[in-house]
């Protein structure tokens, strides 16, 4: 009996709802058959075979081959961004790349020849004869490559059953056939069943071949990827790290299997917020694929660039991320065409990054194009199309078009409920995004109802410490804070912070975000409690200082995340009357955020408000009024007149204007006395009356 060849699931995957967001930012590599056994250290570098014309003779040779290495699609992770939720920016599921062919007609003829050989063997030898199973496996691989998944599924199942029946559950051929079948199930969305098969294959290979065998590492990688998709981060990280370290030890530097393992590990590190290590792995993958595959214009390198761009986006390095996304998009357009799934994924990722950078006109063009193509290719009810509709809705929110956003987000929510079910992660994300559209229009009761519903559902079905549940807790706490319910907001932020510390660690970006927001809640309470104000600030200081200093340490002084946390820390300093330290920090924050995000961004608006408050406290009323007015105009444009943040800035501006009027009145009194002494009372009287009416 011939060894089943490794199929699409055998391996290694490479490679978000808006918001977060998000088709995925990841993709898979081109499939290739390696001409020899995987190269060990000190061996000659393996070479990927090119596509050739195939016929019956070819398939007889292919049936005896043992190594057919594939990549495995990586799944998207949760997105935690509150105000720019993009369903395809934070981790991604992408389809496998099909090998280019010089002649589709020849491929169909070859496939038909292979099918005839399989059917002849089935008639002559029986369905579960070793020869028949070998041909069934080869045919399944070809059908899988052509995305005829349902046809391939039956054949894969036949091979698994036949191997188990004739060889037993722990035979190498059985374990390989399980991996092939599991990879197909993932593409069909049956990830729970796929996880069971991957785990069974990994345990079997560990017992049969040992922990240091390449096939064992391959099974670890496959299982780790599916666990990542299921957000079982601790076990997934352990397996993916073990697989990467193992392949790196066994194979020559820069080997494709090592690079795929590196990309898999980088993917989970992105979701865990270990961005320094993730960036190193992504850059290593880019450099290695450029050398191995010959430059930038190949699918391996383009995939690695796409993954690197996502890491840079998460790090807040938006300019560098946009450049990498653009290079990946141009390459995929050239190799695959504009309408290929991977091209659309990269186009969407670029749009999300441009939106984050405040380049809304450019982002709009890409979002619209992705939506248009997906509607034409897949129809309105396809999950990919629904992702684009949802992304388009959250984009309208970023532009301050809450009514248009509500229409799109309602459509995405309704259709996802019908197509995916009420408990699907994407459906719950759409429900929360719809609540955000209500919030922006001042429909606070409707928003509150949806936020509570999403949080309750996630608690009941996913658990209190599931990443999506923690994201909902953090999100709802922010809503309560802006509504002025600081006590409830504090309780929820404490829960989110403790949960994220346990799940992600102290230095994770989401953990730092919850710490920063909890510190701001304490600071808000100090403003409303004159008696215990000092105690509230003492609670706020370690949270705000630590989140700011850790961002500086991990991301640098000029990073987007550092600016965001710096705004909160500067607010604390000015509340402590430490204006000499607060003002320069705030000017740096405002300048950095305006440069990277533009004026009409939530974080930029908040920073302008904080700088204005600091200047007002130092009696620089004219400049304070300028910054309050700038913040108010932006908040009215994006958040609307009824939002709590808008009203807060309006009240501060009125206070500044009252001070200015009083100061102006004192100046006028001096001028009037001087005019009276000059015996010109009528002019003085007219001037004062005019000033009064103007005021």
Determine contact, residues 430/88, Cβ cutoff 8 Å. no
CA distance 367 to 352: 8
Q: What is the pLDDT of residue 336?
A: 92
Determine contact, residues 387/18, Cβ cutoff 8 Å. yes
CA distance 622 to 305: 48
CA distance 174 to 219: 13
Q: What is the pLDDT of residue 664?
A: 66
Q: What is the pLDDT of residue 663?
A: 72
According to DSSP, the residues that pair with 40 across neighbouring strands are 251
Q: Residue 587 contacts by C-beta under 8 Å, 6 or more apart in sequence? A: 611
Backbone angles phi, psi at 48, to 5 degrees: -75, 130
Q: Supply the Cα-derived Rg of the chain in whole angstroms.
A: 30
Which of 380, 379, 308, 377 minimizes the C-alpha distance to 349? Answer: 308
CA distance 313 to 88: 13
CB environment 420-429: b (16+ within 10 A), e (fewer): beeeebbbbb
Mean pLDDT, 10 residues at a time, over the chain (695 residues)? 41 34 30 32 32 37 32 26 29 36 70 90 89 90 88 92 89 90 89 92 92 92 91 90 94 90 92 89 93 85 94 92 96 93 94 91 94 92 92 90 93 93 92 94 93 96 91 96 93 96 89 95 88 90 94 88 92 90 93 88 90 90 92 88 85 88 61 39 30 30
Helices (H), 294-317: 299-315
Q: What is the pLDDT of residue 648?
A: 87
CA distance 350 to 153: 34
Which of 175, 214, 220, 201 minimizes the C-alpha distance to 3? Answer: 175
**In which element (H, E) is residue 336 found?**
helix 318-336
Backbone angles phi, psi at 544, to 5 degrees: -70, -40
Q: Where exactly are the structural domains of the chain?
A: 8-357
Q: Residue 450 contacts by C-beta under 8 Å, 6 or more apart in sequence? A: 431, 432, 434, 435, 438
| Secondary structure (DSSP) of 396-422 | HHHTT-HHHHHHHHHHHHHHHHHHT-T
CA distance 372 to 307: 25
Helices (H), 146-229: 149-167, 172-187, 191-209, 214-229
Say how many C-beta atoms besides its own lie within 10 A of residue 502's C-beta. 11
Determine contact, residues 277/60, Cβ cutoff 8 Å. no
Q: Residue 6 contacts by C-beta under 8 Å, 6 or more apart in sequence? A: 67, 68, 69, 70, 176, 179, 180, 218
Q: What is the pLDDT of residue 83?
A: 25
- Give me the architecture of the 8-357 domain, per CATH: Alpha Horseshoe (1.25)
Determine contact, residues 223/202, Cβ cutoff 8 Å. yes
How many Å from the N-terminal Cα to the C-terminal Cα in the chain? 95
CA distance 636 to 104: 56
CA distance 44 to 48: 13
CA distance 601 to 537: 27
Tokens 């104000």 locate to 533
CA distance 210 to 204: 9
Q: Which parts of 467-554 are beta strand (E)?
A: none
Q: What is the pLDDT of residue 667?
A: 53
Angle at 267 between CA 478 and CA 417, to 5 degrees: 55
Determine contact, residues 637/598, Cβ cutoff 8 Å. no
Tokens 């300028």 locate to 626
Phi-psi region of 421 (alpha: psi -120 to 50; beta: other; left: phi over 0): left
Backbone angles phi, psi at 552, to 5 degrees: -60, -40
Determine contact, residues 512/536, Cβ cutoff 8 Å. no
Tokens 């943040």 locate to 645
CA distance 244 to 285: 12
Q: What is the pLDDT of residue 272?
A: 84
According to DSSP, the residues that pair with 72 across neighbouring strands are 13
CA distance 27 to 12: 11
Which of 161, 243, 187 minimizes the C-alpha distance to 7? Answer: 187
CA distance 271 to 274: 8
Helices and strands per DSSP (H, E), number in the chain: 28, 2
Which of 570, 567, 518, 562 minimizes the C-alpha distance to 543? Answer: 518
Q: What is the pLDDT of residue 221?
A: 93
Angle at 32 between CA 31 and CA 36, to 5 degrees: 150
Chain mean position to CA 289: 24
Alpha-carbon distances, residue 624 vs 129, 299, 564 (angstroms) = 84, 53, 20
Determine contact, residues 626/649, Cβ cutoff 8 Å. no
Angle at 122 between CA 116 and CA 124, to 5 degrees: 100
3-state secondary structure 92-126: CCCCCECCCCCCHHHHHHHHHHHHHHHHHHHHHHC
| Secondary structure (DSSP) of 209-278 | H-TTSHHHHHHHHHHHHHHHHTT-HHHHHHHHHHHHHHHHHHB-TT-HHHHHHHHHHHHHHHHHT-HHHH
C-alpha torsion 130→136→138→144, nearest 10: -150
Which of 233, 207, 236, 204 minimizes the C-alpha distance to 222? Answer: 236
């Amino acid at each position: 009996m011939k060894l089943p060849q490794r199929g699409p699931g055998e391996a290694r995957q490479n490679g978000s709802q808006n918001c977060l967001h998000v088709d995925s930012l990841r993709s898979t590599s081109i499939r290739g058959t390696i001409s020899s056994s995987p190269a060990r250290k000190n061996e000659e570098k393996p070479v990927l075979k090119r596509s050739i014309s195939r016929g019956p003779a070819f398939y007889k040779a292919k049936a005896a081959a043992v190594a057919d290495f594939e990549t495995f699609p990586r799944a998207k992770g949760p997105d935690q961004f509150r105000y720019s939720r993009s369903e395809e920016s934070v981790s991604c599921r992408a389809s496998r790349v099909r090998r280019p062919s010089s002649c589709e007609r020849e491929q169909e003829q070859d496939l038909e020849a292979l099918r005839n050989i399989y059917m002849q063997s089935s008639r002559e030898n029986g369905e579960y004869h070793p020869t028949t199973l070998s041909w069934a496996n080869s045919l399944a691989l070809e059908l899988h490559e052509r995305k005829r998944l349902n046809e391939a599924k039956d054949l894969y199942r036949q091979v698994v059953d036949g191997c188990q029946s004739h060889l037993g559950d722990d035979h190498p051929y059985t374990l390989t056939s399980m991996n092939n079948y599991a990879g197909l199930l993932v593409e069909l969305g049956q990830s729970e069943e796929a996880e069971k098969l991957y785990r069974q294959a990994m345990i079997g290979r560990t017992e049969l071949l040992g922990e240091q065998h390449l096939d064992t590492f391959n099974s670890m990688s496959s299982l780790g990827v599916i666990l990542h998709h299921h957000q079982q981060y601790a076990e997934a990280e352990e397996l993916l790290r073990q697989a990467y370290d193992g392949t790196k030890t066994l194979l020559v530097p820069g080997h494709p299997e090592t690079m795929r393992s590196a990309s898999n590990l980088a993917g989970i590190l992105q979701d865990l917020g270990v961005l320094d290590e993730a960036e190193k792995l992504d850059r290593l993958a880019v450099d290695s694929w450029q050398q191995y595959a010959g430059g930038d214009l190949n699918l391996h390198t383009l995939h690695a660039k796409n993954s690197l761009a996502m890491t840079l986006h998460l790090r807040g390095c938006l300019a560098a991320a946009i450049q990498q996304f653009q290079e990946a998009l141009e390459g995929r357009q050239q190799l695959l065409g504009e309408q290929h799934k991977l091209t659309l994924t990269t186009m969407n990722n670029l749009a999300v990054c441009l939106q984050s950078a405040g380049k809304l006109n450019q982002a709009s063009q890409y979002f619209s194009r992705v939506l248009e193509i997906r509607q034409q290719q897949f129809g309105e009810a396809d999950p990919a199309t629904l992702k684009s509709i949802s992304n388009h809705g959250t984009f309208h929110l970023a532009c301050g078009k809450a009514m248009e956003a509500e229409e799109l987000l309602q459509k995405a929510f309704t259709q996802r409920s019908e197509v995916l079910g009420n408990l699907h992660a994407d459906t719950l994300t759409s429900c929360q995004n719809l609540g955000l559209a209500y919030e922006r229009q001042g429909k606070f009761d409707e928003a509150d109802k949806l936020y509570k519903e999403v949080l309750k559902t996630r608690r009941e079905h996913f658990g209190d410490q599931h990443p999506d549940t923690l994201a909902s807790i953090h999100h709802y706490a922010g809503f309560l804070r802006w509504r002025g319910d600081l006590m409830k907001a504090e309780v929820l932020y404490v829960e989110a912070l403790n949960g994220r510390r346990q799940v992600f660690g102290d230095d994770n970006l989401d953990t730092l975000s919850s710490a920063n927001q909890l510190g701001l809640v304490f600071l808000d309470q100090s403003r409303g409690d004159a008696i215990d104000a000092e105690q509230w600030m003492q609670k706020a200081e370690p949270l705000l200082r630590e989140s700011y200093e850790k961002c500086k340490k991990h991301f640098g002084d000029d990073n987007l995340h550092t600016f965001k946390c710096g705004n909160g820390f500067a607010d604390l300093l000015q509340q402590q009357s430490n204006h000499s330290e607060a003002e320069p920090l705030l000017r740096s924050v405002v300048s950095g955020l305006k440069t990277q995000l533009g004026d009409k961004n939530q974080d930029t608006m908040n920073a302008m408000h904080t700088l204005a408050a600091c200047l007002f406290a130092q009696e620089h009323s004219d400049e304070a009024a300028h910054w309050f007015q700038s913040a108010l105009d932006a908040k009215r444009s994006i958040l609307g007149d009824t939002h709590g943040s808008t009203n807060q800035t309006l009240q501060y501006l009125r206070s500044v204007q009252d001070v200015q009027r009083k100061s102006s009145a004192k100046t006028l009194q001096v001028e009037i006395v001087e005019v009276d002494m000059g015996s010109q009372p009528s002019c003085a009287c007219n001037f004062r009356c005019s000033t009064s009416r103007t005021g």
